Amino acid sequence: MNTRFSCKMRLRRAHHILCWLYPYEFRKLRNLFLAAVGMFWFLNTMLLHRALKGTDQPLDRNPFVSDPVLVVFFLLLLFVLMCVGISLAFTTLHHRHHSRQLLLLPASNAEKFVMLWLLYVPVLLVLYSAAFVVADVLRMLTLPLLHSNGSLPSAIPAFFQWLGYFLTLNVPNNYDVAEAWIVMLFIHSLCLCCSVLCGTPGILLSGLILYGLVQLSGLLHFSTAVMIAFIPLFTGTAYWLFCQYPSSQLNLFKYLRHGLSLR
């Protein structure tokens, strides 16, 4: 009975958190969805238009099946969009009025942190997948205006097939999916930490850190073991900063101001 009661209370608190987050996070999720539709549609249309340029014969095979590189390219774009999304997950925390309401919600910090993560990872992944479906339908409607053979077979089956390959770690053609997952989780944890630390500027901060790591990779020779060690470190730091807010941000700005005054 106690276990069932606690589960009901947790579900009720989760529903309460979602109801409170909905008006604040809906706009961001909607804008991310529309931006993904535009990017998928534009790149899909331009890539296929370039491939069809100069040919008047209809294609014998679906290019998305015969050339998996096209689908892998869109999966990489999906990952980049996911990084942008997780970098915006905690921007509500950095609004003075909204952050106070979020911190005063009758739920634990872990529940609030997990609910925001769920909105900007699993839910956002579903939204981006739906965005690809909408974009591919728009491509099939608009590409015939640019080329006579523009009404190509849909890329949706191949996209979801390869997405399933990566999610189940069963990728053909000898792709090193384990190392790819380690890199993705490393970047994901870094973007998560930067989002909690500074909100919207976390996109720029995580980009600068990744650029610096790429430049230093030739000198320091980062291994997968190092990235695996940093994944829980970044995630734990993100949760610690979330629990310490706003004192963690105040201390950060105090240290930065002190450092600038010394100069």
pLDDT recorded at residue 120: 92
- What's the token pair of residue 95? 């609004």
Residue 252 has pLDDT above 60, yes or no: no
Which one is predicted more confidently, 222 or 32? 32
What percentage of residues in the chain have a pLDDT greater than 90? 24
Residue 259 has pLDDT above 50, yes or no: no
Q: What is the mean pLDDT of residues 182-203?
A: 89
pLDDT tens string 129-146: 999 999 999 988 888 787
| Triad 21, 25, 31: Cα angle to 5° | 165
Which one is predicted more confidently, 211 or 30? 30
Residue 136 Cα to chain centre, angstroms? 20
pTM: 0.82
pLDDT recorded at residue 258: 43
Range from 45-49, 144-148, 170-174 that averages highest in pLDDT: 45-49
Q: What is the mean pLDDT of residues 10-19?
A: 74
pLDDT tens string 54-112: 565 555 556 666 677 888 889 999 999 999 999 988 888 777 776 676 777 777 788 88
Average pLDDT, the chain: 79
pLDDT recorded at residue 253: 45
